[in-house]
Amino acid sequence: MVAAGSNLMPDAEDSMTWRIGNHGFQMTLSPRVPDLIGAHLRPWLEAWLASLGRRLEDLNSWAVHPGGPRVLTSVAKALGLSEATLATSAEILAECGNMSSLTVLFILQRLQQQGARLPCLALGFGPGLVAEAALLE
């Protein structure tokens, strides 16, 4: 990993929440999440990559945390990525479900097994709504 970045999307504080309850974690996900990703992800990610001397077009592989099918679809649409580009993320979601933060590690492992080319961008979303990115080279 050569760089990591995060971005708290504006007006999204209650879009994804985690609370600890009597029976474990309780997560809420607003139906606004895909729209927020669509509106805010690309401008932030392009600026962050530019600060590293990179562009979206420079990335050869993607490990996008699949919070669900709608999250993958909104990321693909926002960034102009093909279904094939996010196929590994979709496969892990179909095989294992959403395993919280751990999911992206399964995606990275699968990409490595497939011989995916670097640089790779690992991307996930967290409470707030926060976008978290890691650039792997």
Q: Which CATH class is domain 3-136?
A: alpha beta
This prediction's pTM: 0.90
Residue spans of the domains in the chain: they are: 3-136
Structure tokens at 83: 């279904």
- In tens, the pLDDT along 1-27 reads 999 999 999 988 888 777 888 888 787
**Angstrom distances, CA of residue 84 to CA of 17, 21, 89:** 30, 38, 10
Dist CA 2 CA 58 (whole Å) = 15
**Angstrom distances, CA of residue 29 to CA of 19, 66, 87, 127:** 12, 13, 23, 9
Q: What are phi and psi of 28, to 5 degrees?
A: -120, 140
Q: What are phi and psi of 134, to 5 degrees?
A: -135, 130
Least confident piece of the model among 18-32, 61-75, 76-90: 18-32
Q: What is the mean pLDDT of residues 78-101?
A: 94
Structure tokens at 112: 């490595």
